Amino acid sequence: MSKKILLVEDDPNLGMVLQEYLQFKGGYEVTLCVDGMQGLAAFKLKSFDLCILDVMMPRKDGFTLGQEIRALNQRIPIIFATAKSMLEDKIQGFNIGGDDYITKPFRIEELLLRINALLKRSNNPPVEEKHPDKFQVGAILFDPISQEIYNGYNAQKLSAKESELLHLLCKHKNDVLSREQALVSIWGSDNYFNARSMDVYISKLRKLLKDDETVEIINVHGRGYKLIF
């Protein structure tokens, strides 16, 4: 069966070109929406395998739509597309939970390659060595299957990337987790923007673990991170 893509693009000409190319060249089933409100309604009605969201749109911008989609589905790959190239915008997209970012104007062939790579990773998660089902991190219990951490009777849900990153850190407890390994395992590439995104997720994990002073994620200069407790 064809993979289903939600494309939200307010430029009707560009939207139609992208839709036709991804359908005929990529073999995907593409639903085209012209604004964020329409895109959210479509996402709630149908099941999709990947979303491409234009950032600058009327009624509801792409970042807001991305947040709402991520709240409904933690795992679906999201690509943000925008005419802006500012680093702050790219970081904002990754903070929201985006998986990739492409700046207009772009080659449609490049977009197709990024889609293929994201769908391949989501369909073929890496085979992991056998490890405990749950990890005791100081006073906190981490369950990578349910993507939750437990502090006493209180449970907190993690995002998919937060859970994957904490899982890798736990498997390398008191040892260095290299930046390259984490980036390739979770983001699929160790490029600059993925590295900045990972730094954001490290900060999020530190905040989640800060109540236990015996637990710390430290930077190992030039190498990566180490979870110690």
Residue 130: what pLDDT?
A: 44
50, 100 contact by CB (below 8 A): no
Q: How far apart are CA 170 and CA 22, in angstroms?
A: 39
Q: How far apart are CA 144 and CA 129, in angstroms?
A: 14
* Token pair belonging to 86: 């500012």
Residue 126: what pLDDT?
A: 46
CB neighbours (10 Å) of residue 214?
10
29, 23 contact by CB (below 8 A): yes
Are β-strands 4-8 and 78-82 bridged in parallel, bridged antiparallel, or unpaired? unpaired
In which residue are the tokens 């994990």 written? 205
Can you give the pTM of this predicted structure? Answer: 0.57
Q: Tens place of pLDDT for every residue, the chain, 229 residues?
A: 689 999 999 999 999 999 999 999 999 999 999 999 999 999 999 999 999 999 989 889 999 999 999 989 888 999 998 876 666 667 777 777 788 888 888 889 989 998 998 888 777 554 444 445 788 888 888 998 889 888 876 788 999 999 999 999 998 888 888 888 888 889 888 788 888 999 999 999 999 888 888 889 999 888 889 998 8
β-strand partners of 157: 148
Q: What is the DSSP letter of 186?
A: I
Side-chain half-sphere CA neighbours of 29 within 13 A? 8
149, 142 contact by CB (below 8 A): yes
DSSP strands (E only) in 153-206: 154-157, 176-178
Q: Which amino acid is at 51?
A: C
- What domains are defined for the chain? 4-123 (3.40.50.2300), 135-228 (1.10.10.10)
Residue 78: what pLDDT?
A: 93
